């Protein structure tokens, strides 16, 4: 039976608290969102930088609209954001490009010539925009994801603090196993459903893989939260 409270929160216990499935789910989500934030920030900055070079350091060249949405009928209107095929010449070379005319301020039809801003260092880098949005606007995707990543990280810290508090101060009781299952939340551990004493209270705790053979009727030591929080299996904090 685990010792009564207050219990010492050792470095091992602190590490095991990070591994608690309900804590781990939050910090893994936070890390995934931080990686997504970094990816979006880099991708959006690269796109913004290319646009900036084309507009601020580029040259304006006329481009012929050959088709819109794969329709090459002369006179067909180009709607905002519709995919178009373009042809333009630069430095004696002809370029055929597919894209959109986002930011174009004049009406365009198939067969018309439209002005493009072209990056002289990379003639394949072009835009119909005449201005460059602020970097903050360009990074809006990353900016929107970052607070969620921070929030899930804070939730992980709060959940871990709750685990440590329950371990240190919660009363230890012996419960009876009612069920043993695997859950997506803890694929390498086992979720054990227990009946606590004769109260009829049913709780769920997670045990390490070494106790995967627990069956209905077996006894298991659990630590109950003193107030709020989730119950814990004492075996989760036992060193192998």
Give start and end residues of each alpha helix (H) in 92-176.
135-138, 140-169
pLDDT confidence of residue 134: 95
- CB 171, CB 234: distance < 8 Å: no
Q: Answer yes or no: is pLDDT of 161 > 80.
A: yes
pLDDT tens by residue, 177-201? 999 998 888 888 999 999 997 667 8
**Beta carbons of 236 and 20 less than 8 angstroms apart:** yes
Structure tokens at 98: 């597919």
Number of Cβ atoms within 10 Å of the Cβ of 166: 23
C-alpha–C-alpha distance, residues 147 and 135, integer Å? 18
Q: Are the beta carbons of 15 and 236 closer than 8 angstroms? A: no
Higher-scoring residue by pLDDT: 119, 186: 119
Rounded to whole angstroms, the Cα distance separating 84 from 81 reads 9
- Which pLDDT does position 80 carry in this prediction? 76
The Cα-based distances of 18 to 24, 78, 173 in angstroms read 6, 55, 23
Please tell me the predicted confidence (pLDDT) of residue 224.
Answer: 94
The confidence score (pLDDT) of residue 201 equals 87
Question: Which of the given ranges, 30-39, 209-218, 227-236, has the highest pLDDT on average?
Answer: 30-39
End-to-end C-alpha distance for the chain, whole angstroms? 16
Give the pTM. 0.84
What is d(CA 37, CA 55) in angstroms, rounded to the nearest whole number? 26
Rounded to the nearest integer, the mean pLDDT of the chain is 93
**What is the percent of the chain with per-residue pLDDT over 70, rounded to a whole number?**
98
Range with lowest mean pLDDT among 16-25, 63-72, 76-85, 164-173 = 76-85
Residue 71 pLDDT greater than 80, yes or no:
yes
pLDDT at 1 (0 to 100): 63
């Amino acid at each position: 039976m685990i010792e009564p409270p207050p219990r010492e929160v050792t470095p091992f216990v602190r590490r095991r608290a990070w591994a608690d499935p309900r804590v781990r789910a939050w910090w893994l989500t936070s890390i995934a969102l931080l990686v997504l934030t970094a990816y979006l920030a880099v991708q959006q900055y690269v796109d913004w930088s290319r646009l900036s070079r084309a507009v601020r350091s580029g040259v304006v060249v006329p481009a012929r609209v050959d088709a819109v949405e794969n329709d090459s009928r002369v006179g067909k209107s180009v709607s905002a954001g519709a995919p178009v095929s373009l042809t333009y010449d630069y430095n004696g070379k002809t370029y055929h490009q597919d894209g959109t005319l986002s930011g174009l301020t004049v009406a365009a039809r198939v067969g018309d010539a439209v002005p493009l801003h072209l990056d002289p260092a990379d003639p394949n880098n072009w835009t119909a925009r005449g201005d460059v949005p602020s970097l903050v606007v360009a990074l809006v995707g990353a900016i929107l994801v970052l607070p969620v990543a921070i929030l899930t990280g804070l939730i992980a810290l709060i959940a871990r603090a709750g685990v440590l508090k329950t371990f240190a101060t919660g009363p230890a009781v012996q419960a009876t196993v009612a069920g043993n299952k695997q859950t997506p939340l803890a694929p390498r551990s086992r979720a054990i459903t227990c009946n606590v004493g004769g109260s009829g209270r049913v709780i769920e705790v997670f045990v390490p893989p070494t106790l995967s053979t627990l069956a209905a009727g077996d006894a298991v030591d659990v630590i109950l939260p003193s107030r709020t929080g989730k119950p814990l299996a004492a075996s989760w904090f036992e060193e192998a």
